Structure 1
């Protein structure tokens, strides 16, 4: 099996496993249902979806008085949102994403690609338009092949920066990266996306070694490109400072995402991929 075929098979398998996870999450069942009209959610559509109890702030014209007359409560008649969303994926292909703390564990890049493709499978099945940065988001299963071809190209830089090219105004976006490089480009990309009315998610993918810093004694730290190198005789003494810096970075990303109306989540390759996929899918629905 070729690399692309294997990657596609893994993404398809992961995408097919999501409905089982959704069955265990009862509170998602009403909003994460894939059907011919796409992801079911309230909006300005033509098809009746459901009645829900009226909340404070609902306009009087939204209340269905006929349904409300059958009980002591007021109900709002919701219609299904049928307009397909355009979702742009940026999956970091920089050299830092090729890192793995153990030879038996896949590098971050593999996990990021599988998650991105699995998410694309789910979105396309739901009738959404999907594309990678620089591509025009399109619907249909055939779009997966175009995504695979684009993902095969790796970058030569140590660290990647989100690309907002091709993003559709008022669409959705997903940035998947380790976000270990300078954060200024990330902030600039988020600002540019927000200016277009784009909302989305930041999914940080790390290796367990980057989370735990298990190093002791003499250690040479070197970037994957070899442009940054640091040697120490007592790596263990750096652990507390490293973990503090990592926590600061995660907090920065969290606050940055929140300020732009986005969502942030950190996932590491020692965890089950399904949990990150479920989070990303929920976050695109508007949850946390």
Structure 2
């Protein structure tokens, strides 16, 4: 690491290459952790169950006037005074796009965080890919991998990520056609208006979105005091505070206002929003995202925040 005060100059190309190399070294361990979490989380689950036209039985429910009489289960209905139909599970593969922000701000890790935001985002991304691929879904990553329906989708996505030089910011979605889901994972520290300017048109095209904000605990708690130098990871600009503790209240108000505004705007689009801190278990974010993808917004994982 450079000594204090040392100026390190890198060309944009060298910076991108350095970050890509660091990510390539990080991805294999993230894939191993993602598979471990997927095995833990998926235990007892039976995929993203959804009523549809498949052949597998899902549940009984009361008959609704106007439905086909052929759907009535007369044997079950004979047990009491109600008429029941058999719901069957949807079997058509659904396309789900997964994306993680891997810009410089995601590399941050304080002494309070278990891992960097980038590492946690990759683990959540790959674990979701593993779980959804096992459920028979088609998995894609905007600008990185076209949707595929394969049991090894998580491994193929990890390989694609390790060899990519992702652009900073939100992904391009022009290649996404038709109704599908998109899961966006990042710190979303840009102004909410800038974020919504990108996401609003995406929602109007029929995509159902799920946003997971990854936060380091220090970003929420602001545990700084005394003379402290802050560096913007994106621009390199520095701010030196003589007494950092005097900034805490104003910082907390601005930080929470950004999050609240973003969450409200996303809900107006009909999108879900979850906050996940890197000092919490990664499984919390994975379970919360899976519940939303399954169409169960009221079933939140313990420890997940909205």
Matching residue of 1:18:
41
Larger Rg computed on CA atoms: 2
Matching residue of 1:180:
189
Q: CA deviation at 1:183?
A: 2.7
Structure 2 alignment gaps of length 5 or more: 1-24, 298-306
Distance in 1 (alpha carbons) for counterparts of 2:67 and 2:127? 40
Structure 1 alignment gaps of length 5 or more: 24-31
* Alignment of structure 1 residues 180-259 onto 2, 5 Å: 180-259=189-268
Q: CA deviation at 1:224?
A: 1.3
Distance in 2 (alpha carbons) for counterparts of 1:273 and 1:126? 20
Aligned with 2:240: secondary structure? strand
Matching residue of 2:67:
61
Aligned with 1:215: secondary structure? coil
Larger mean Cα displacement after TM superposition, 119-128 or 256-265? 256-265
Give the number of equivalent residue pairs: 269
Q: Is the 8 A contact 1:62 1:76 kept in 2?
A: no
TM-score (normalised: structure 1): 0.85
Q: Cα 1:165–1:227, aligned 2, differ >3 Å: closer, same or farther?
A: farther
Matching residue of 1:26:
none
Q: Deviations over 1:86-136 (max 9, x none)?
A: 000110010000001129832100000000000000000000000111232
Aligned with 2:51: secondary structure? coil
Q: Does 1:269 align with 2:292?
A: no
Matching residue of 2:30:
7
Q: CA deviation at 1:12?
A: 0.7
Aligned residue among 268, 283, 287 for 2:292? 283
Matching residue of 1:136:
146
Larger mean Cα displacement after TM superposition, 218-227 or 206-215? 218-227
Q: Deviations over 1:36-59 (max 9, x none)?
A: xxx3211233443321245xxx44
Matching residue of 1:28:
none
* Alignment of structure 1 residues 144-183 onto 2, 5 Å: 144-152=154-162, 153-155=164-166, 157=168, 160-183=169-192
Q: Does 1:33 align with 2:46?
A: yes
Q: Cα 1:234–1:59, aligned 2, differ >3 Å: closer, same or farther?
A: farther
TM-score (normalised: structure 2): 0.80
Aligned with 1:88: secondary structure? strand
Q: Cα 1:111–1:65, aligned 2, differ >3 Å: closer, same or farther?
A: closer
Distance in 2 (alpha carbons) for counterparts of 1:246 and 1:155? 26
Distance in 1 (alpha carbons) for counterparts of 2:198 and 2:79? 51
Q: CA deviation at 1:154?
A: 5.0
Q: Cα 1:213–1:156, aligned 2, differ >3 Å: closer, same or farther?
A: farther
Q: Cα 1:162–1:4, aligned 2, differ >3 Å: closer, same or farther?
A: closer
Distance in 2 (alpha carbons) for counterparts of 1:225 and 1:252? 23
Larger mean Cα displacement after TM superposition, 105-114 or 177-186? 177-186
Q: CA RMSD in A?
A: 2.3
Aligned residue among 78, 81, 89 for 1:80? 89
